[in-house]
A and B are shown apart, each in its own frame.
Chain A
């Protein structure tokens, strides 16, 4: 859905190790302006130059949004990643320029909740810290449970305690075993919302405990990141004009057509209005539909595509245009 059109430019100002595998990066605006404001739970997507290609990785903003002269993220080094966290630890240095998306929030607080339970596992503390700060500022009722493996990995615990004295429950899993979700969820009053960010196994255990205890799923929130725009490059052939282009990773089909001076209608540019619909004559790859306009039947027919947001998963797409 998004392109690089509104990418922000930032500079890595400072790098600080918080734990053996956890590094905090302080970013400042790459030009003279301030960073935009954001809501607690937001993340930004960094464009990392790895191996000649751009990799996109999402990181939660952990600082105070009112401080617009710098942003802070924290990255845990993970060997099994596609290389993003390794690059951040091994290659990223103070002084480097980096492109990032404006903030997006898919993990926001529910403002009508009577009580909020925040749960962080390991590096999952990053969005939880920003949510705790916001709830404290609002004077809301909340509690924070922070699970980590050994005291050296309890990064930001002091920050949390300073933000929310009396409300923080640290849990050293090396010493106390796994965090038990049963008792934690069973005692919560009606109108409580729970927000969890941590390793997949921990999140799954929490969700399962919630389901067992009858929590409506709308009251259980886990961190979500926006699906990165773009995808595999693919060829497109316009049957009527005979033109042929490559749609690169970072541009939508619509943008590629426009860049090549192809006259094609569009309106909302977000997959909802139907104006940009094009007819598919042939496709040697799988159609990847990201719109909300076509019906299930229309998608399955393989004869229509909304070029503003949808793509082909490699191969060649032939359009009746």
Chain B
């Protein structure tokens, strides 16, 4: 199964776009007409063929472009990837997990040869052939975590488990929805979730933490999270807010269809075997309102979710300035008919 990788940008001219196939597999997160936070975690088991849930780590047509965008972001700001010294075992765990998964699930793109601790990693799309000794960081051009996450789509945080708590002690964060790794590094689960409105009072994080502390090897879990972005921009970090903040005021009811994007995060959590730490993957999917509207059901549903979103969530997700324009554009796609529960496009 060959993937046709696209040449596109997530900055400047923003040439990013989804093929029809990419739109069809988009992880639309809304099963009903309104949205509220919940502990919506479920086993990260093999999903339907071709879906974003099929494999533990999803590679799609945007792979090369995302790797390039990450490379640019890191060149401008190397501190988007940090790892505290005690996380080195976890870094190797992550490298092994991702390499073995990608080689197994995308054999036409990736290969992993292993002879004891002498490994060779082959990444055909990126033209990489890397022999190295597993466990010996001197044999890789970068730290193991940075090395492999530069070749994987999505952000990653490694959490150390201690004290009945989880601590964000390493991260590769270049496609985040507005949080800072430099600021949050070392924070506990409750601390880094502090800015999220309403969810704490609902007991979401207490339950989620207890559930995650018991996460077992070989039984990963996943959930969907979402926000919106103006322009298909991956780097919406607080660090670069002055660069993308003005985009929010540039949205009109006419251009909203092309400019406003639904940004869905497929969040995955894996227990890591050697370190007992936990890998938190945040895989980002972007689709414009116009692309989503190729499914009339999706457009209508999104119109209703956005229209009924509590003020606290609007503010927290940064939607306030352009929400009216987005709603106006979506209104044309909502005839008010009753929609069935579920996230299917048809």
Name A residues whose Cβ lies closer than 8 Å to a Cβ of B.
1-2, 6, 36-39, 65, 102-105, 108, 110-112, 138, 218, 267-274, 292-293
Contacts and interface: CB of A to CB of B under 8 A. Distances in A.
Contacts of B206: 292
A268 B211 contact: yes
Contact of B42 (A38, A102, A218, A267): A267
A245 B206 CA distance: 34
A177 to B, nearest CB: 34
B218 A102 contact: yes
Contact of A292 (B89, B210, B275): B210
Given A102-B217, A267-B41, A273-B40, A293 B207 contact: yes
Contacts of A267: 40-42
Nearest to A272: B211
B207 A272 contact: yes
B86 interface: yes
Contact of A39 (B39, B42, B221, B275): B275
B274 interface: yes
A218 B38 contact: no
A36 B207 contact: no
Given A104-B216, A111-B162, A268-B42, A37 B211 contact: no
B161 interface: yes
A271 B210 CA distance: 9
A273 B39 contact: yes
Closest 5 CB pairs of A and B: A272-B211, A37-B273, A111-B86, A39-B276, A292-B210
Contacts of A272: 39, 41, 207-208, 210-211
A39 B86 contact: no
A209 B275 CA distance: 30
17 contacts: A6-B216, A36-B218, A37-B217, A37-B274, A111-B275, A112-B162, A268-B42, A268-B221, A270-B211, A270-B214, A272-B208, A272-B210, A272-B211, A273-B40, A273-B41, A292-B206, A292-B211
Contacts of B40: 267, 273
Given A111-B275, A273-B40, 13 more contacts: A1-B214, A6-B218, A6-B219, A37-B273, A38-B274, A39-B276, A111-B86, A138-B89, A268-B221, A269-B42, A292-B210, A293-B39, A293-B207
A271 B219 contact: no
B155 to A, nearest CB: 22
A2 B86 contact: no
Contacts of A218: 163
Interface string B12-55: 00000000000000000000000000111111000000000000
Nearest to B160: A111
Of B87, B89, B160, B217, the most chain A CB neighbours within 10 A belong to B217
A112 B39 CA distance: 30
A293 B208 CA distance: 9
Contacts of B217: 36-38, 102-103
A160 B182 CA distance: 41
Nearest to A107: B276
A268 B274 contact: no
Contacts of A274: 38-39
A282 B185 CA distance: 49
B36 to A, nearest CB: 12
B211 A271 contact: yes
B335 to A, nearest CB: 30
B211 A36 contact: no
Interface in B196-237: 206-208, 210-211, 214, 216-219, 221
